[in-house]
Amino acid sequence: MRKSLPLLMIVLAGCRRDMGVITLGAAGGWSEPRGTMARHGIELALDEVNAASDEPHIRVIYKDDQSQGDRAAAVAQEFVDDDSVVAVIGHLTSGAMKAAAKVYDERLPAVATAASSPELTGISPWAFRVIASDSASGIEIGRFASRLGRRRAAILYESSPYGRGLADAFRRNFAGTVISFDPIAETRDQNFEPFVSWFRAQQPDVIFVAGSEGSGLALLREVRRQGLQADLMGGVGWRGIAADTALAEGVWVGVPFSADNPDPSVQRFVTRFRERWGTTPDAGAALAYDATRLLATAARRAGADRARIRHWLVATNGSGRAFNGVTGLIRLGPDGDPIGKSHVMTRVRHGHLVVEAGR
């Protein structure tokens, strides 16, 4: 009988360790460049929260939703069915989160990172996000273009929840005349020659594009080829164009985060990220970092219980309960959106998004 005691003690110790683990899910297109940056942000946050306290330990299960709605819904169902998962980081895109939110409803809290479509506002009491809605972003960018004195705007938008919402918000808040409002494809191999030729004839002083990096770079190539003189502006989907220094110099981009922000907490995060990954974090990395730290804090304070974690997230809008993230204070409203979060206007300068305006 005494010979079995050591084995029993090992088993009991293992049980205690298992009870000291909180499991979060993470959903996104991990094979894509934006997915890589977001995962880097998640893993840096895990390093920090687990180094600060090992009780309970936070671990993450990653599932690839391929940034597709049907796959995102399937991933969401897998997380819902896994009793060990108490909350989900993600999804990264608006279309994926829109499909997944219906599965999470009443069953599992999820905090999206860069999913910014207005269609997600109030979609489920269990769906949240740390990025401001495109409605808020479009309002700020539209007003910013007006403050620059721009009076004639041409608008292009990808026909997606992100593109439509951002473009419509810009249009409603631009004080000048919108001379065109046209959909474009999401691919990088489309022909923008007809658009740019028409713009040259009509002479808008600002072209706003609610789209992604791929279509944005294709447009910029044609703009530079034809020598079109107009300000070019984009939203968070354009955050990666700065890497192409020849094409993107001088382009305006509204983003929820800039690594050049002099705020001490931002610079500490940027330094740690560079030390860990050897590269500079973008907005997607910062948003994923904040979402991970937010959910880790919620799970440790509320307990590893789905309903209690959801209640804790909602309570962040109470007095003194805001969560301090590197992308700003996070106070989640009853519709799942962060209250009072804004974007900053940056301009591409020598491969960097340099803060020009915002708060």
pTM beyond 0.85: no
- List every span in the chain annotated with CATH 3.40.50.2300: 2-132+263-330, 135-255
Mean pLDDT of the chain: 91
User: How far, in Å, CA of 135 to CA of 168, rounded?
Assistant: 8
Task: Identify the band that residue 5 occupies on the pLDDT scale cut at 50, 70 and 90.
Answer: very low
pLDDT at residue 17, as a whole number: 38
pLDDT at residue 165, as a whole number: 87
Please tell me the least confidently modeled range out of 74-78, 94-98, 343-347. Answer: 343-347
> How large is the average pLDDT for residues 152-167?
92
pLDDT per residue over 291-326, tens digit each?
A: 999 999 999 999 999 999 999 999 987 656 789 999
Q: Please give the CATH topology (third level) of the domain spanning 135-255.
A: Rossmann fold (3.40.50)
User: How far, in Å, CA of 281 to CA of 269, rounded?
Assistant: 9
> Looking at the chain, how many residues does it have?
359
pLDDT at residue 322, as a whole number: 87
User: How far, in Å, CA of 175 to CA of 160, rounded?
Assistant: 25
pLDDT at residue 10, as a whole number: 36
Instruction: State how far the alpha carbon of 97 is from the alpha carbons of 100, 152, 188, in Å.
Output: 5, 34, 23
Residue 159 identity (one-letter amino acid): S
Q: How far is CA 334 from the centre of its chain?
A: 19
pLDDT per residue over 111-135, tens digit each?
A: 999 998 889 999 999 999 999 998 8
Residue 269 identity (one-letter amino acid): F
User: How far, in Å, CA of 283 to CA of 285, rounded?
Assistant: 5
Task: Identify the band that residue 358 occupies on the pLDDT scale cut at 50, 70 and 90.
Answer: very low
Task: Identify the band that residue 18 occupies on the pLDDT scale cut at 50, 70 and 90.
Answer: very low
Residue 158: beta bridge partners?
A: 184
> How large is the average pLDDT for residues 16-44?
88
pLDDT per residue over 179-201, tens digit each?
A: 999 999 988 889 999 999 999 99
pLDDT at residue 54, as a whole number: 65
CATH number for the segment(s) 2-132+263-330: 3.40.50.2300
pLDDT per residue over 206-215, tens digit each?
A: 999 999 999 9
> How large is the average pLDDT for residues 91-100?
95
> Is the bond preceding residue 311 a cis peptide, omega within 30 degrees?
no
